[in-house]
Structure formats: structure tokens, C-alpha cells
Structure 1
Amino acid sequence: MLRTLVLYTALLIGANPAFAGKIDWQAAHDGGLAKLSQSDPRPVPETTFTDPDGGTHSLRDYRGKVVLLNFWATWCAPCREEMPSLDALQAELGGKDFQVVAIAAGHNPAPAIRKFLDQAKVENLPVLLDPRQGLAREMGVMGMPVTILIDRDGNEIARLIGGADWSSDTAKTLIRQATAP
């Protein structure tokens, strides 16, 4: 009887649109993302950043998608450790609803970036640059790595300072919850 009650309660909650898209922040903390801090939704700046070909981009380009924005640098040891997991997360979940946006902030010469990405075996992330750290400064990034979760409306909803395993089951569950309709 108790099992049946639990099963039907779980089905009711899972099928109820009022519960869709809710993020279980505590489960994320308990599952290995202990440094993840939920924040009140606040709009991200529209400061531009570039790509190696001189193209200009802004976070506005990603509206309608959930974005995991990561600021990194070639000299950053924790960045080197976490970059393969960001690449794996993009490979598995990236698409029309979700995008990992990894931006090299500060002075990162092109050969150093290429070497860094080759050594980390990054294949699924575009090279994006914030050489003068305009976007990083505007977003309050004081050190690296910093990863910011942005909702479909362009609002920061969480931030993690330091490295994390973004290819973990916990991280994938967080992204699936954030992208749920």
C-alpha cells in the first residue's frame, strides 16, 4: 500500500506542469556541486566578446537556450582540469536547448589557446575570447575558473567559483532540470 502511494505521488508530481523545470539545488550540492550558489535571477550584461576570426558575440545571441557560461584562462590549472568535462557536457547535452559557452578571459595568445585545447582534447566548444576582460569584469569574475548558469531569458540563476566535474551525473541532472519545459 505504501509503495503504491509513493509511486502515485511521484507520478503526480512528475506529470504536474507546476513542478516542471524546477531545479533541485540541494541535490546538486549533495551530489558534488557543493560550491554552486543559487542566485536571484538577474539579467546578464550584453557586453561583447569575440572569436579568433574577429567575429563579435554577446550573451544575447543565446537567448532561448540555457547557457553554462565558463570563464577560463590558459594559465589556470583548475581550468585545465575542468575543461574536458565542459566539452563532454556540451557533446552530450548541447543543442537547441542548451549550450556551454567557454570564454578565454584576459591575455591568452592564440598559440597558447590552441595548445591548451589540444592537450585537453576539447572538440565540441568554440573558441571565444574576452581579451580585455570586459564581460568578465562586468559579471564580477575575480578569478578563474568561474561558471555561471543562465536561464533561457538571459538571467544568471547560479554561479560556481572554482573547478567542477561538469560531466558528472549530478551536473547533467542539473542541466536537464534547467532545460525542462
Structure 2
Amino acid sequence: MRMKRRQVLGLLGAASMGPVMAPAVANPGYDVQPWGAKQAVPVGDLVDLEGQHWSLPDLRGRVVLLNFWAGWCEPCRAEMPALQTLAARESQRMVVLAINLKESFDAIARFVQATGLMLPVVRDVQGELAKAWGIRIYPSTVLIDTEGQVRGIVRGALDWAGPEGERLWRPLLQPQGARKR
């Protein structure tokens, strides 16, 4: 049986992450990579499928999650409903941008329609955004606090709307000085 490139990449990505959403604490299916204090933050104007412009400096005051995903990635598709639930529940304090890797507008539109996805979706046509953020595993989610500071990158899928996800995003609501005490 001949596999398509996307299927192979999806299997390799899933295999490299171990069991996704595993209940075991020792291997939760994701890891958090810290963002170095001296690492540059990629800036730029992000435009979603609706034509709305998103800029990180304009989003200060709210937590921002940049979720890098692809339609061929099963763990990406599996965590999307939880991201949408979280974004709807925390809409006053948080923005979740779904950044799609290298898929056509039509493929993304079909996915959005089939799943009822309401998150803003940004196309990363050439993979330049993923490269700028150092993303090599899908899904990956960049965690940005209310002051616009990148705190880390979550590599792998998890339940963002549940307690596991809340442990990662809730501290981003506190001012930086409050976290250091």
C-alpha cells in the first residue's frame, strides 16, 4: 500500500510525541519548551481567512495562544474542539489563533465547514511563520501572556479546556511581577 506524504508525516509526528492525551502523568503527550528571555519574538501582521488583521502588540492585555496545526495531523484535529471551547469561554481575556501549515485555502475552508470551527484561521502558506517560531512538531501552541511576553511553546496535543490546559494558560493572566513572588 502506498502512503501519501502527508499520511507519513502525520504518523511520524504522532509517533514522535508518544501517546497523545495519555492519562499517565509521567508522559502526558506534550512538553513545554521555555522561551528564552533573549529570544526574538517574531512580529508581523497575521491575516485570517476572513481578512481580519491580527498583530501581537495590538493584543496586549489578553492571553494569546498561537496554535500551529495542519488538517493531515490527527492530534491537531483532535485538540481543535478544546481550543475552540476555551476561546469561547475565555473570549474576554484570551485570543486563540489557529495557524495552518501549508494547506490550500479550499482545504482549510472544507475543514472549517466540516468541523464548525469558529477560531480565526491564519494560513502559513510557505511555512515561514512556523520556521520563525521554531515549530517542528504539530500541533504546537505558543503561549503569550497579557504583557505580550512569550512564555513557552507547548509541543503536542492536550485538552486546553480542561484542568491540564488551564494549568498552562491561567498563569499567563497574572502580571509578570506577580508570577515571580
TM-score of the pair, normalised by structure 2: 0.70
Report deviation, 1:101.
Answer: 1.5
Aligned partners of 1:129 and 1:59: how far apart in 2?
A: 16
Kindly indicate whether residue 163 of structure 2 is the aligned counterpart of residue 166 of structure 1.
no
Gaps of 5+ in 2: 1-24, 176-181
CA deviation digits over 1:127-175, x for unaligned, max 9? 2222122221111112321111012232221111121111112312432
CA deviation digits over 1:34-63, x for unaligned, max 9? 512333444521133322244543323322
Aligned partners of 2:58 and 2:70: how far apart in 1?
A: 22
Aligned length: 150
Counterpart for residue 6 of structure 1: none
Report deviation, 1:99.
Answer: 1.2
Aligned partners of 1:33 and 1:67: how far apart in 2?
A: 22
Counterpart residue identity of residue 91, structure 1: A
- For the residue of structure 2 that corresponds to 1:152, the secondary structure is coil
Aligned partners of 1:63 and 1:151: how far apart in 2?
A: 8
Counterpart for residue 149 of structure 1: 143
Gaps of 5+ in 1: 1-28
**Deviation above 6 Å: which 4+ runs of structure 1?**
none
1:57 corresponds, among 54, 57, 64, to: 54
Counterpart for residue 140 of structure 1: 134
Pairing of 1:1-181 with structure 2 (within 5 A) = 32=28, 35-41=31-37, 42-95=39-92, 97-106=93-102, 108-123=103-118, 125-181=119-175
Radius of gyration: which is bigger? 1
When the two chains are superposed, the root-mean-square deviation of aligned CA atoms in Å is 2.5
Specify whether residues 88 and 160 from structure 1 end up closer, same or farther in structure 2 by C-alpha distance, changes over 3 A only. Answer: same
Specify whether residues 143 and 36 from structure 1 end up closer, same or farther in structure 2 by C-alpha distance, changes over 3 A only. Answer: closer
**Quick check: 1:66–1:150 contact (8 Å CA) kept in 2?**
yes
**Quick check: 1:43–1:155 contact (8 Å CA) kept in 2?**
no
Specify whether residues 53 and 168 from structure 1 end up closer, same or farther in structure 2 by C-alpha distance, changes over 3 A only. Answer: closer
Counterpart for residue 15 of structure 1: none
- For the residue of structure 2 that corresponds to 1:128, the secondary structure is strand
- For the residue of structure 1 that corresponds to 2:77, the secondary structure is helix
Specify whether residues 176 and 69 from structure 1 end up closer, same or farther in structure 2 by C-alpha distance, changes over 3 A only. Answer: same
Aligned partners of 1:68 and 1:143: how far apart in 2?
A: 16
Give percent identity, aligned residues only. 35
Aligned partners of 2:61 and 2:27: how far apart in 1?
A: 27
Specify whether residues 110 and 139 from structure 1 end up closer, same or farther in structure 2 by C-alpha distance, changes over 3 A only. Answer: same
